[in-house]
Amino acid sequence: MASNGYVRWFKDIRNSDVAMVGGKNASLGELYSTLAAEGILVPNGFALSAACYRDALTAAGAWNRLHALFDDLDKTDVAELSRRAAEARAIIYDATGTGEIRRQVTAAYQQLEREGGRNLAVAVRSSATAEDLPTASFAGQHDSFLNVRGAAALFEACRRCFASIATDRAISYRIDNGFDHFKVYLSVGVMRMIRSDKAASGVIFTLDTESGFRDVVFITGAYGLGENVVQGQVNPDEFYVHKPTFRAGHRAVLRRSLGEKSIRMIYRRGSAGQADTTYNVATHKADRARYCLTDAEVLRLAGYAIAIEDHYSANAGHPMPMDIEWAKDGPGGELYVVQARPETVASRRTAGGMESYHLKGTGRKLVTGRAVGEKIAVGAVRVIEGPHDLEAFRPGEVLVAEATRPDWEPVMKTAGAIVTDHGGRTCHAAIVARELGVPAVVGAGNAMATLATGTMVTVSCADGDVGHVFDGALPFEVTRLPASETAMPRTQVMVNLGNPEMAFSTAMLPNAGVGLARLEFIIGEQIRAHPMALADPASLRDPAARKAIDKLTAGYASPAAFFIERLSEAVGTICAAFYPKPVIVRMSDFKTNEYARLLGGTQFEPKEENPMLGFRGASRYAHPAYAAGFALECAAMRRVRDEMGLTNLFLMIPFCRRVEEARRVIEVMAGHGLKRGAGGLEIFVMCEIPNNVIQIDAFSQLFDGFSIGSNDLTQLTLGVDRDSEIVAFDFDERDPGMLEMLRLAVTGARRNGRHVGICGEAPANYPEIVSFLVGLGIDSISVNPSSLLRTIAVVREAERALQPAAREREPA
């Protein structure tokens, strides 16, 4: 036997050597030997080959004994599984304790010492010959050992690593995944430890792990050694980087989230005769309050990840999303890749499709109102009389309230369904429920008096306009149509989206982009403070509000910087998800009473008798009472386009009453660096006031397109308060007067060569309106995610119905 017969150095290993050194070591060798030219740092190390494991067990006569333990094993007998696994580990541990293995391990370790210093710390990790493959990761099934020092301790760790092929979990994993115990062999990887105990470490995925969205790099990190992140023992920092714009040369973090990072794993030096180990300590408060990586480091890691994915994809001949572990060296500050393997979960997930809900039972109706969401949910009632009741709310419960507020949204995100006494289909509860994809019954009138906390109910919004709350848990079925079966029509069907957390999953459905992203919902959820309070915090007279804003914006250069970064990252996430399709973002359209609820807002907002018709939309942007806040909005939008490179962002002005007001807003935006036409910037206007329709020729001279807001346009055309349950029956987009308004808007925009779409819910609720608009030649229809696929089908059917008439009009 050659003196180095079982040792393979990383420089001599390639990805094709899985049978020799297992998936993990083959990947490390590939990284170390081929990607150094890309500037990717990988610590040096070596592998003990799978032949070492096989030869040792053969020489010890271990195979027959292992067959006796595994061949008739019933994994459901947990106690017997544990007993046999322990016996198997003892057999393997004894078999691998040979003098020859000890000699080869010692010689290789001494070589590492010559490179890195005496008593060098190394990591010892398993690498199965069926591991880290595109269809099976074996992640976490075998044992790893960190901070191993000295040849004797290393030999001991290698033996324990070999034996871990017989852990209870590894045995069960092989059975569940159809692997033959005797065709999976173990190699051991030995790598120089990076002193991330003095810095940080974490995991990178080259896709979004929740949705499977492929165009982002997702980076997580925490202080100390990486085991806490890998094992889920710590809530890490999270970062996203957008791949297409990164490749185009733009260097910006797309989105970030500060994790608690409550503990950090560090080295513990063993006392005399004892092995070195690792242990957790509490993270200092100041460290927990800041990110473990700088933006420059995040972007460097993103570059590593993209290069690794490109390399593996090129070798595989198809896209190969990757799961990568990284570590930062405390003393030197360098960033290293310590593991890379194909991602095996999210990348295999298929995109969603159309869902149809149907009740299969009947029950006593408790409450009736207007239906939102087209779904059915079952849950226990939780009556919320005020904010003090929110602490008791549990995920999956049915939230029952008089009305909902923007600051309730974190709790609303966990609700199984929402029921309110007040409000119409466009109230806060309805809009949020649509974006969250949960059913809601609004304007019920008697829900608070009828429903009691703890009562089990079924909320059904699957029967058109009317929603019902039934007593008890009723059975229901869900029919799903794969998105792959949903062809796109000629008319653009876009999506309304205000929640960045839903952007990646929604973008994977068929769509033509985002027809409406409401800035006010992003401000309410992501920022929670009044823009003027952040633009001029020194003017705040309320000490409690000032203290709260100081806490909210801690770690930022200024409250204004906080606003710009948070808003730009939220909008940027939506733009990145749909890139390069257009994303039309509507500048803020809070009413004064809604603005006043934001942190510090009461000082900056007047009290109005009718906020719906008051100081809202375009009238605010150049007004001294809000000009500084609008400047911050513009700065955030400019950052999305210029720094992030997301030029698919278009802007839209809401509630613009007069042509002169429109001209003034366009000038103000240009002064803030958002000049119409510059860099391809298009500026749209909401067509939601009768004057927008009457003077559509004049508005067309100032804007690139129109989006019909059917909710406000119906309200102002019919003179109906859409949030009043008393007259809600008169709110109907199908009224002949409203249809004429829609006709004038569409034909007027087309006459002026301007894009025209609709972003209200009328098309989703009424198929006849879809047919009417398609017949007029509308360019786009934008609906909420829950209505998207159904609307595509309705539009396609409307276009088919129009084809014979179109052919008849063609000249002979």
What order of strands is seen across the sheet that includes strand 322-328?
255-257, 237-242, 216-223, 200-205, 322-328, 335-342
pLDDT (average), residues 110-131 = 89
Confidence class for position 811, pLDDT limits 50, 70, 90: very low
Residue 525 falls in which region: left (phi positive, over 0), alpha (psi -120 to 50) or beta:
alpha
What is the dihedral sign for C-alpha 165, 166, 169, 174?
positive
Average pLDDT, the chain: 89
pLDDT (average), residues 721-749 = 86
Question: Any catalytic annotation for residue 428?
Answer: yes
Confidence class for position 382, pLDDT limits 50, 70, 90: very high
pLDDT (average), residues 41-58 = 96
pLDDT at 102 over 80: yes
pLDDT tens per residue, range 62-96 = 999 999 999 999 877 878 988 999 999 999 999 99
Q: What pLDDT was estimated at residue 756?
A: 98
pTM score of the predicted model: 0.81
Which residue among the candidates 52, 634, 687, 759 is catalytic per the annotation? 759
Question: Backbone phi, then psi, for 543, in 5-degree steps?
Answer: -60, -35
Q: What pLDDT was estimated at residue 156?
A: 96
Helix ranges (DSSP H) in 76-134: 78-95, 99-116
pLDDT at 153 over 80: yes
pLDDT at 385 over 80: yes
pLDDT at 808 over 90: no
Confidence class for position 159, pLDDT limits 50, 70, 90: very high
pLDDT at 30 over 80: yes
Q: What pLDDT was estimated at residue 417?
A: 96
* Lowest mean pLDDT, pick from 477-486, 508-517, 601-610, 702-711: 477-486
pLDDT (average), residues 21-30 = 92
Confidence class for position 812, pLDDT limits 50, 70, 90: very low
- Looking at the chain, how many residues does it have? 812
| Inter-residue contact 762 to 752 (CB < 8 Å) | no
pLDDT tens per residue, range 435-450 = 778 899 988 989 999 9
pLDDT at 810 over 50: no
Q: What pLDDT was estimated at residue 231?
A: 63
Q: Cα separation of 245 and 647, whole Å?
A: 10
Q: Cα separation of 126 and 96, whole Å?
A: 14
Confidence class for position 1, pLDDT limits 50, 70, 90: very low
Which residue among the candidates 428, 468, 530, 755 is catalytic per the annotation? 428
**577: its two tokens:** 């998800």
Q: What pLDDT was estimated at residue 355?
A: 65
pLDDT (average), residues 28-53 = 94
Q: Shortest CA distance to 515 belongs to which of 574, 573, 427?
A: 574
Q: Cα separation of 742 and 732, whole Å?
A: 13
Confidence class for position 709, pLDDT limits 50, 70, 90: very high
Both ends of the chain: CA-CA distance in Å? Answer: 89
pLDDT at 2 over 50: no
Q: Shortest CA distance to 776 belongs to which of 791, 790, 763?
A: 763
Residue with more model confidence, 50 or 428: 50
Q: What pLDDT was estimated at residue 766?
A: 87
Helix H or strand E encompassing 595 = helix 592-596
What is the dihedral sign for C-alpha 52, 54, 58, 63?
positive
**287: its two tokens:** 């460290």
Q: What pLDDT was estimated at residue 350?
A: 54
Amino acid of residue 668: V
Residue with more model confidence, 229 or 367: 367
Q: Cα separation of 124 and 105, whole Å?
A: 12
Q: Shortest CA distance to 42 belongs to which of 343, 335, 341?
A: 335
pLDDT tens per residue, range 196-237 = 999 999 999 999 876 788 999 999 999 999 888 876 677 789
Q: What pLDDT was estimated at residue 406?
A: 61
Q: What pLDDT was estimated at residue 109?
A: 97
Please report, rounded to a whole number, the percentage of residues in the chain having pLDDT higher than 90. Answer: 67
Residue with more model confidence, 133 or 99: 99
Confidence class for position 349, pLDDT limits 50, 70, 90: low
Helix H or strand E encompassing 576 = helix 559-578
Strands 514-518 and 583-586: parallel
Confidence class for position 807, pLDDT limits 50, 70, 90: very low
Q: What pLDDT was estimated at residue 352?
A: 52
What order of strands is seen across the sheet that includes strand 121-128?
7-9, 45-48, 186-192, 121-128, 144-149
